Amino acid sequence: MNNNINGKGKSALRRRRPYLSMQLYGYFSFFAIVILVILWIFQTVLLDNSYQTIRMSELKRTASTISKKMGDSRFEEIVKELAVDYEICVRIYRDDGKQTVSCDVLEDCVIHHTDSDTINSFFLEAKKNGGLSITAMKREGFKYTEFSDGLGDTIVLTNIISGPDGRGYIVLLNANIAPVSATVNTLQSQLLWVSILTIMLGMVFAILMSRQISRPIAKLSRSAKTLAGGSYSVDFSVGEGCREVGELSDTLTYAAKELSKTDKMQKELIANISHDLRTPLTLIKGYGEVMRDIPGEMTPENMQVIIDETERLSSLVSDLVDMSKFQSGAPMLSTERFDLGETVLETMERYKKLTEKDGYILECDCESGLTVEADKTRILQVIYNLINNAVNYTGEDKKITVKAYRDGDYVRVDVIDTGEGIEADKLALIWDRYYKIDKVHRRAAVGTGLGLSIVKNILVLHGAEYGVDSVPGQGSTFWFAMKASKSDQKEINNIKDTGENDNGTV
């Protein structure tokens, strides 16, 4: 019940989440509104202050240039050029009250159309402020008065400097602040239309982008739901969208193909298991009924048949349990030092009955002293699975060869059969779970398709190397190689060093 409630809660949460197209609309709208607010603030609210700040900066740069150029032979021409370029009126007085330079480029210039008392007030203000003052003036009729609150109509800069002749000079600069109210009204009207166009374009771009992005994603979502329903032939190709969507499409297509293969293999596994379970169970039931109903059939031979078939069932169940363990997580290994060559020999001894009963020819060529550090039980499982696989698929001569030998720093085991071999394009698949080279049982042996997958997982856990060498028509060689134990490696290195010294002496 809790799961049902959680499922309903998650479903309701998904329904509350907005679609990608709606999110894009929201993002574009928010972006457009932020840009427009910034434009309105800078182009209307802050325009007056920005303009006055710019004019003050121009006056200060002009006053600094005049101070540096004073004494230049072209001084008066330079001043006139600055006045014209920046639309500034200039008057320069010597400390004795004599005017040296005058440039009148503005109508109703304050410094050219005012009385001497106003000029003296500018001088006193600059003297009080350390030689530099800036005064904002406001026009009232045909007169200008000092205006300190807010913005004025014109600005007067007064600068007291020393000339190259050692005399003092008073530099008066006047710049008008153009009436920006009309400009603000114009900008507001323009910004209104710009705002409308920006929002409309933002919506159009949002629609186009949502179609470009959300449409292929929606198609992938529908295809994924179809895949979840068990239809593995679904097509994830979208043919549009960005690169990431294309890569997602390719990945989902690959996943669908792999799921299809796994599903097919699982069905084959069920069929194989059904066959493998039915045969021994039928024999056990049949022999049991015979032994129960017919006097004199309670013989050791009949009991042995039941025992053998029970072992087959046990082996099948063990394979399934092992595969389940490997899928749920790597099992722990219980490592110990043992002679792998002797272990292979002992295993081959247990196949004598198979040799005597069914006519198999099992050859063993194993060296001694092949010590390794590994989980002996798991390695025995590897050896059994490889030999059982060879028994199932060896040729008509029923010959199987097992070798164990030293290969450099490794101990290698080869299991060789004389069967039909494996095609090159199938070599990489035989280690996958559920996979079988042919879909019918070769002999009356258990064959779920799990054996080699179990072998692979065990060898990977041990960090061992493994593989198969096969030529169609000439049989197969399944092999694995494990590092020799550390003590054996030292002995190998000593043998190598001794051999090199002997060679050097000779």
Instruction: Compare 327 and 454 and report the one with higher pLDDT.
Output: 454
Q: Residue 385 in contact with residue 455, Cβ under 8 Å?
A: yes
Burial string for 10-40 (b: 16+ CB within 10 Å, else e) reads eeeeeeeeeeebeebbeebeeebeeebeebb
Q: What is the pLDDT of residue 464?
A: 92
Q: What is the pLDDT of residue 404?
A: 94
Q: What is the pLDDT of residue 356?
A: 66
243-324: which CATH topology? Helix Hairpins (1.10.287)
Do strands 132-140 and 99-103 pair parallel, antiparallel, or not at all (unpaired)? unpaired
Mean pLDDT within 382-398? 88
Q: What is the pLDDT of residue 82?
A: 92
pLDDT at 250 over 90: no
pLDDT at 143 over 80: no
Q: What is the pLDDT of residue 10?
A: 47
Report the amino acid identity of residue 491: E
Q: Residue 375 in contact with residue 457, Cβ under 8 Å?
A: no
Instruction: Return d(Cα 135, Cα 152) in angstroms, integer.
Output: 9
Helix (H, G, I), strand (E, B) or coil at 126: helix
The average confidence (pLDDT) of the chain is: 78
pLDDT at 134 over 50: yes
Mean pLDDT within 208-235? 77
Q: What is the pLDDT of residue 18?
A: 65
Instruction: Compare 157 and 237 and report the one with higher pLDDT.
Output: 157
The residues spanned by each domain of the chain are 14-45+183-228, 70-179, 243-324, 332-494
pLDDT-based confidence at 275, cuts 50/70/90? low
Q: What is the pLDDT of residue 153?
A: 76
Mean pLDDT within 385-399? 87
Instruction: Compare 123 and 48 and report the one with higher pLDDT.
Output: 123
pLDDT-based confidence at 281, cuts 50/70/90? confident
Question: Which superfamily does 332-494 belong to?
Answer: Histidine kinase-like ATPase, C-terminal domain (3.30.565.10)
Q: What is the pLDDT of residue 247?
A: 79
Mean pLDDT within 476-480? 94
Closest CA to 433 of 320, 350, 274, 333: 320
pLDDT-based confidence at 151, cuts 50/70/90? low
Do strands 371-374 and 336-339 pair parallel, antiparallel, or not at all (unpaired)? antiparallel
Mean pLDDT within 31-57? 76
Mean pLDDT within 40-69? 81
pLDDT at 497 over 50: yes
pLDDT digits (tens, 9 = 90+) for 425-448: 888 778 775 555 554 434 444 445
Q: What is the pLDDT of residue 413?
A: 95
Q: What is the pLDDT of residue 78?
A: 92
Output the pTM of the full model: 0.45
Q: Residue 476 in contact with residue 416, Cβ under 8 Å?
A: yes
70-179: which CATH topology? Beta-Lactamase (3.30.450)
pLDDT digits (tens, 9 = 90+) for 86-120: 889 999 998 888 888 999 988 778 888 878 888 88
Helix-then-strand count for the chain, H and E: 13, 13
Instruction: Compare 466 and 6 and report the one with higher pLDDT.
Output: 466
Residue 50: CB atoms within 10 A of its CB come to 13
Closest CA to 353 of 362, 345, 344: 362
Q: What is the pLDDT of residue 494?
A: 56
Mean pLDDT within 316-343? 76
pLDDT digits (tens, 9 = 90+) for 354-385: 666 778 888 999 988 899 999 898 898 899 88
pLDDT-based confidence at 12, cuts 50/70/90? very low
Q: Residue 176 in contact with residue 138, Cβ under 8 Å?
A: no
Instruction: Compare 181 and 267 and report the one with higher pLDDT.
Output: 267
Q: What is the pLDDT of residue 492?
A: 53
Q: What is the pLDDT of residue 411?
A: 94
pLDDT-based confidence at 181, cuts 50/70/90? low
